[in-house]
Amino acid sequence: MEQTLVLIKPDGVQRGLIGEVISRLERRGLRIVAAKFLAVDQKLAETHYAIHEGKPFYEGLIRYITSAPVMAMVWEGPNAVQAVRQTMGSTRPTEAQPGSIRHDFALEVGRNLTHASDSVENGVEEVNLWFNTEELVNWARSIDPWVFE
Ligand code: IDP
Ligand code: MG
């Protein structure tokens, strides 16, 4: 089953939106695999955002993600990467579709509440960066046949 890493970033945690984000992913039909609440250290932040090193917003991005705890999760389902990116909405909240999390709860790109893996390969890599294998729960949900075709 395709998996994707989801982070509720410090602004989402501080604004009390953990439940809202989880609710939307659950309602969509995605299945939760792992979750942990943690303070992100400099090393994890730099590894996670290595691809953005050197960009004008990089320093601010590292400060943002390390500024307060985050809720890190793994979610799975058919096309989980694409489905979760769609539920989050475009990176810039003012370009995000109405009904998406970033549209409904955010205004600025540097305070856009969530992270979601952007490809299947990056999903695998990010899940491995944030979680140990034994933290990933392999389970069947009784409603799965009513959500997964
Ligand atoms: P994504 O989170 O939608 O995948 P990316 O382009 O991978 O977006 O950028 C990672 C994160 O960096 C964004 O979610 C946002 O928090 C931050 N970011 C991206 N572009 C800018 C910018 O122009 N100014 C400030 N922060 C930015
Ligand atoms: Mg990204």
> Residue 29: CB partners within 8 Å, gap ≥ 6?
77, 147, 148
CA 55 – ligand 2 centroid, Å: 13
Percent of the chain scoring above 70 in pLDDT: 100
Ligand 1 atom with minimal separation from the 9 CA: 16
Is the residue at 91 inside a domain? Answer: yes
User: How much is the pTM?
Assistant: 0.98
How confident is the model at residue 68, as a pLDDT?
Answer: 97
The residue length of the chain stands at 149
CATH number at residue 127: 3.30.70.141
Tens of pLDDT, residues 17-40: 999 999 999 999 999 999 999 999
CA max distance for the chain: 47
Q: Whose CA is nearest to atom 1 of ligand 1?
A: 91
Concerning whether 115 is annotated as a catalytic residue, the answer is yes
Instruction: Give the count of domains, the chain.
Output: 1
Q: Which domain holds residue 79?
A: 2-38+70-140
User: What rounded mean pLDDT belongs to the chain?
Assistant: 98
How confident is the model at residue 132, as a pLDDT?
Answer: 98
Is the residue at 107 inside a domain? Answer: yes
| CB 84, CB 75: distance < 8 Å | yes
Residue from 8, 48, 61 whose mutation best tests the ligand 1 pocket (most atoms within 8 A of CB): 61
